[in-house]
């Protein structure tokens, strides 16, 4: 808890504390995206917020990762939060749609199909931490668009 509050970058990179979860911190961090989405969804600046979250996330994850001594520590979950916010506008606005978006994002974030895993192993620092989740979000968005086309 002291680490969480020691620096604003730690607080953000740990997803307001979600990254401290002893089980599945990435999944818990992804869940933080839901209230942020519902708060910002109607904003005409939604995508500007997401861009800001991604850029600030590079800094926060870099600072927190260096402080922890681990490039992509499991507790760093702001990458999941910010990237999942990219996915949610493409989800059908139903419980099933949001659950599908969540499941797809987590699937691609954990599975890391090419080139996600390849880049994850080669791109260091906060940028690398954020990049694999952004790509997982792109994969999830593509599947959601395909599903929407078939419905």
pTM of the entire predicted model: 0.96
Q: What is the model's pLDDT at position 5? A: 87
Distance of CA 150 to the CA centre of its chain: 27
Report angle CA 48, 49, 55 to the nearest 5 degrees.
90
Give me the chain's average pLDDT, please: 96
| Token duo for residue 143 | 């599947």
Query: Is the distance from CB of 147 to CB of 100 less than 8 angstroms?
Result: yes
What average pLDDT does range 56-74 have in this prediction? Answer: 95
Residue 1 has pLDDT above 80, yes or no: no
Q: What is the model's pLDDT at position 2? A: 86
Q: What is the model's pLDDT at position 150? A: 87
pLDDT for 74-103, tens place per residue? 999 999 999 999 999 999 999 999 999 999
Residue 64 C-beta-side C-alpha neighbours within 13 Å: 36
């Amino acid at each position: 808890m002291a680490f969480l509050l020691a620096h604003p970058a730690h607080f953000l990179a740990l997803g307001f504390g979600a990254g401290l979860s002893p089980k599945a911190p990435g999944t818990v961090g992804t869940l933080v995206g839901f209230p942020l989405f519902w708060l910002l969804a109607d904003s005409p600046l939604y995508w500007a917020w997401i861009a800001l979250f991604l850029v600030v996330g590079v800094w926060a994850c870099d600072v927190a990762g260096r402080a922890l001594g681990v490039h992509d520590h499991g507790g760093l979950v702001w990458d999941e939060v910010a990237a999942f916010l990219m996915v949610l506008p493409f989800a059908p606005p139903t419980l099933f749609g949001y659950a599908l978006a969540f499941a797809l994002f987590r699937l691609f974030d954990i599975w890391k199909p090419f080139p996600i895993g390849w880049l994850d192993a080669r791109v260091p620092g906060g940028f690398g931490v954020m990049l694999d989740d952004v790509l997982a979000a792109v994969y999830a968005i593509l599947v959601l668009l395909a599903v929407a086309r078939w419905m």
